[in-house]
Amino acid sequence: MPRRFFHRHQTACLPCWAKAALGALAGLGVVALAGEASGATLLMAPLGASAMLLFGFPASPLSQPAPVIGGHLVAALVGLLFDHLLPAGWWSMAAAVAVAIAVMGILRLSHPPAAANPLVVMMAHPGWDFLLAPVLIGSIALVVIAVLIHRLPPRTAYPLPLDESPAPGKDIAK
């Protein structure tokens, strides 16, 4: 098998990954503590994957505030619509994820962890308040913590400056 399948493209910057771990601990810890204090469920599994992107890959277009917050909201909304309008089943769950991916892409709010939101919704059957807590509150809290954590050394520009965004009409995947 070719070596390219086993090559690791990530850097092994120990201080960077220690800061990423600290960010995940702080971000998810704040969300969990706020949930316990308020009695609301604010922690959901896709936020753990968001923490990996926010704290480990802050320069990625997929880690920026608009895709994180907007992607989670859009995907959860799609999940809620599918959950309320269609019968439960593997096909409706797969279709909800597919539609969430398409809508996030069309709106330029792609955030891969958010693609799991329709599955969470369709397995748990929450009410419409799910959009507020955990989705909106949890994703905003993680972004705020990311802004603060990336000011620690080694400093990272987060969010990205406007001039580093892909030009309109440019596909970042190419």
All structural domains of the chain with their residue ranges: 15-161
Please return the burial class of 147, using the count of CB atoms within 10 Å of its CB with bins 0-12, 13-18 and 19+.
middle
Q: Residue 7: what pLDDT?
A: 86
Tokens encoding 12: 């092994």
Query: What are the C-alpha distances in Å from 17 to residues 11, 24, 113, 152, 156?
Result: 9, 10, 19, 13, 12
φ, ψ dihedrals at 66, nearest 5°: -60, -50
Q: Residue 81: what pLDDT?
A: 98
Q: Residue 174: what pLDDT?
A: 44
Along the 174 residues of the chain, how does pLDDT read in single tens digits? 688 888 888 778 999 999 999 999 999 999 999 999 999 889 999 999 999 999 999 999 999 999 999 999 999 999 999 999 999 899 999 999 999 999 999 999 999 999 999 999 999 999 999 999 999 999 999 999 999 999 999 999 999 998 755 556 555 444
What CA–CA distance (Å, rounded) separates 72 from 113?
8
Measured in residues, the chain has a length of 174
Closest CA to 123 of 97, 98, 103: 97
Q: Residue 166: what pLDDT?
A: 57
Closest CA to 24 of 119, 136, 150, 133: 150
Q: Residue 167: what pLDDT?
A: 59
**Contact, 24 vs 52, CB < 8 A?**
yes
Q: Residue 109: what pLDDT?
A: 98
What count of other Cβ atoms lies within 10 Å of the Cβ of residue 142?
Answer: 28
Helix axes 45-56, 137-149, angle to 10 degrees: 20
Tokens encoding 3: 């070596």
**Contact, 75 vs 60, CB < 8 A?**
no
